[in-house]
Structure 1
Amino acid sequence: MDSRKQYNWGIIGCGKIAHKFAEDIKTIPNATLYAVASRDLKKAKEFGKTYNVYSCYGSYQELATNPDIHIIYIATPHVFHFENTLLCLSHKKAVLCEKPFAMNTKQVEEMIAMAKNNDIFLMEALWTYFLPHYKHVINVIKSNELGKVKSLKADFGFASTYDPENRVFNKKLGGGSLLDVGIYPLFAALSILGYPDKIEANAKFNESGIDENCTMLLFYKNNIQASLYSSITEKTNIEAIIELEKGTIIIHSRFHEPSSVTITSDGISKLYEFPVTTNGYSYEAIHVQEMLAQGNTESTIMTFDKSLQLIRLLDAVRDKIDLHYE
């Protein structure tokens, strides 16, 4: 496939993250933000006007059936990822779907199976994996120059006022700290240490039946462990601290976004800056286009196996804290 091909993007959902993604699409080569869809046509048109989008739709079906669209970015609430993804895949559209990929392992397995059966590209939009600072950290760890990882601490908490209609607090929309932000510390543990041998977790629930905060301990062989925390009612440092045999790596706040890194070894600390000129979503979007240009139907970085491990880990934590969605 020609790497110079122009890719027409469609966006499903017009929330906050969709705006950031739209801004970034405007900055990358060979990409056109071609269409946007919302269940509210007025909202889609307002979004389209802001970003000079060619087509605006009041239904996801209309966007998915547009023959001029090559890739669809799904930015709807968690509970809709499954049905939105299947809709797009059924119309032979490449899909980049926001995290969490879906609400449970069964749904993710079905999404992946459909992508494979239709020979269509599908990827979970875990943007952190593609950011320069995070790629640097992974490379340093893999190089073994600081020895093996001994422990990881990672947190993601923000303070928000309780509103049962807000997506974050609404159980019908997959609300709660674990799925919304706890996925990032879990992703850090998975990408750095792999799948754990044992999991311990506890959570505080509110009147809506969702977890306001969640404390997670992941245990690995050789006494290695990850201590993780998420919250939607408490602001935390939002950093990741990795202790290794010969040094320490700190991914500064907010570790899941474009950030800086301090590496300490032999008593010497060095700060690494990674200047980014976009919101940071451009990196995963460029990767998707590269995969399509190479004829790939699966990411070489955020693979199906990694998405399956991540959703299984989320499901395992949910079982531990007794969190269930309808």
Structure 2
Amino acid sequence: MGWGLVGTGMIARHFTEDLRSVAGAHLAAVTSRSFDKAAAFGAAFDARAHADLDAMLRAPEVDAVYIATPNDTHFSTALAALSAGKGVVVEKPLAMSRTEAEQLASFATEQKLFLMEGMWTRFLPAMDFVREALRSGAIGKVRRIDGELAFRHLYDPGNRFFDAAQGGGALLDLGVYLISLSLALMGRAETVNGRWRAAPSGVDMAADIEMTFGTAQARLHCALDYEGANLFVIEGTHGSLVLQAPFIAARQVTKTLAMAGRGLARMPGGPTARRAMAKLSRLAPSVPGLRHQLFDFSGYGLQFEIAAATQALAQGHTQHPLMPMADTVETLRIIETIRSQGPAA
């Protein structure tokens, strides 16, 4: 499977480095707004550089395209790739609005082409463990989810994080992970509420998200102006599962069956906490009700998503069951619902 890469930034580099460990797939081509950058990237990773997107899409060695460009370019780039008959994986968010996502999904279905949002967290080994634990009733019936994802960025109105025209805001950049993961585990939300705080540029600097799933409730928070604990806690009637920080790249899941264990599992993120949790992991057998499951892997963690998409493409599928387009559309609907309520005073 020859992958064509659009973009040469940090995520593009992570993608390419992790692609090396995926059997049956390789980087065939790359393009960027700057041909010099594309040429340097291609030379570093043994891929052909193209001066523009159309040229890369015409290349017969390109079977599928990974889009790793700014948010505001996702829709047009994905539409061009699908129009060229290529399967497409788009770095989150797939698009800047529910309407755009629906248009892409409809077109991909009509053309019988693969389309997926690159929500890589869903494909991590830790998530396989969590899904099986919930399926088997290991922590009883889920009654609550608590999730936080916050990374500090210095405010700059021209930076993509704070520019609405570039798809900025905490919800599109970070909230998508929290919402998408909740939907993956619980299904469609019955109710959605939220509130957000505006940056000086008007985009959402931080947001609180509340959703209900029957008798279960999710309380989620994302922000661009501080470093958060970045845990994802799933509480059941008989215990809890904690995806340790940063949960979007989880390499450890803590399973607790006692109240003391739950308190330890909620220890905030950061270097000090990670060292403490590592020490606690070694002591876990002696701590009643507390167990750590480790999922160590090389690279950034995109290889699991890439392998899943590569296999789905090779088998002629138009979607992947772990990341269906319906969840992408629903995530964007939830974000729009929260934003429509206006910023907090």
Equivalent position amino acid for 1:202 in 2: R
Higher helix proportion = 2
**Aligned-pair CA distance for 1:322:** 5.8
Match of residue 128 from structure 2: 135
SS for the counterpart of 2:12 is: helix
Kindly tell me: are residues 116 and 322 of structure 1, through their superposed partners in 2, closer, same or farther at Cα, counting changes over 3 Å?
farther
Equivalent of 1:23, from 17, 28, 42?
17
Q: Report whether the alignment pairs 1:52 with 2:73.
A: no
Identity of aligned residues (%): 30
Q: Deviations over 1:114-160 (max 9, x none)?
A: 11111111111110110000121121112223211010100100111
**Aligned-pair CA distance for 1:308:** 2.1
Q: Deviations over 1:168-210 (max 9, x none)?
A: 1222110111100111111222122222222221111122111
Supply the distance in 2 between the matched residues of 1:256 and 1:146 (Cα, whole angstroms): 21
Match of residue 286 from structure 1: 307
**Conserved? CA contact 1:262–1:271, under 8 Å:** yes
**Conserved? CA contact 1:258–1:280, under 8 Å:** no
Q: Report whether the alignment pairs 1:33 with 2:54.
A: no
Equivalent of 1:228, from 205, 220, 225?
220
Supply the distance in 2 between the matched residues of 1:39 and 1:211 (Cα, whole angstroms): 28
Equivalent position amino acid for 1:310 in 2: T
Supply the distance in 1 between the matched residues of 2:299 and 2:250 (Cα, whole angstroms): 9
**Conserved? CA contact 1:77–1:173, under 8 Å:** yes
Counterpart mapping for 1:188-227 below 5 A: 188-222=181-215, 224-227=216-219
TM-score normalised by structure 2 residue count: 0.88
Match of residue 339 from structure 2: 318
Q: Report whether the alignment pairs 1:69 with 2:90.
A: no
Match of residue 238 from structure 1: 230
Equivalent of 2:323, from 302, 319, 322?
302
Q: Report whether the alignment pairs 1:271 with 2:323.
A: no
Supply the distance in 2 between the matched residues of 1:191 and 1:300 (Cα, whole angstroms): 10
Q: Which moved more, 1:159-168 or 1:9-18?
A: 159-168
Match of residue 149 from structure 2: 156
**Aligned-pair CA distance for 1:11:** 0.5
Q: Deviations over 1:210-264 (max 9, x none)?
A: 1111111213332x21111101111101111111000011110010113201101
Residues matched between the structures, number: 315
Kindly tell me: are residues 148 and 321 of structure 1, through their superposed partners in 2, closer, same or farther at Cα, counting changes over 3 Å?
farther
Match of residue 264 from structure 2: none
Equivalent of 2:119, from 114, 126, 129?
126
Q: Deviations over 1:10-44 (max 9, x none)?
A: 10011111110011112211112111111111111
SS for the counterpart of 1:316 is: helix
**Conserved? CA contact 1:154–1:188, under 8 Å:** no
SS for the counterpart of 2:145 is: strand
Match of residue 87 from structure 2: 94
SS for the counterpart of 1:168 is: helix
Q: Deviations over 1:261-319 (max 9, x none)?
A: 11012551100000111211011111111112222121122112222222222222222
Equivalent of 2:247, from 231, 255, 266?
255
Equivalent position amino acid for 2:247 in 1: F
Q: Deviations over 1:30-85 (max 9, x none)?
A: 112111111111111122122221x1123111111212200100011111111111
Supply the distance in 2 between the matched residues of 1:75 and 1:20 (Cα, whole angstroms): 10
Equivalent of 1:116, from 92, 109, 112?
109
Q: Report whether the alignment pairs 1:182 with 2:203.
A: no
**Conserved? CA contact 1:237–1:253, under 8 Å:** yes
Equivalent position amino acid for 2:147 in 1: A
TM-score normalised by structure 1 residue count: 0.93
Supply the distance in 1 between the matched residues of 2:199 and 2:87 (Cα, whole angstroms): 38
Supply the distance in 2 between the matched residues of 1:221 and 1:284 (Cα, whole angstroms): 30
Equivalent position amino acid for 2:257 in 1: S
Supply the distance in 2 between the matched residues of 1:206 and 1:283 (Cα, whole angstroms): 35
Match of residue 273 from structure 2: none
**Conserved? CA contact 2:193–2:210, under 8 Å:** yes
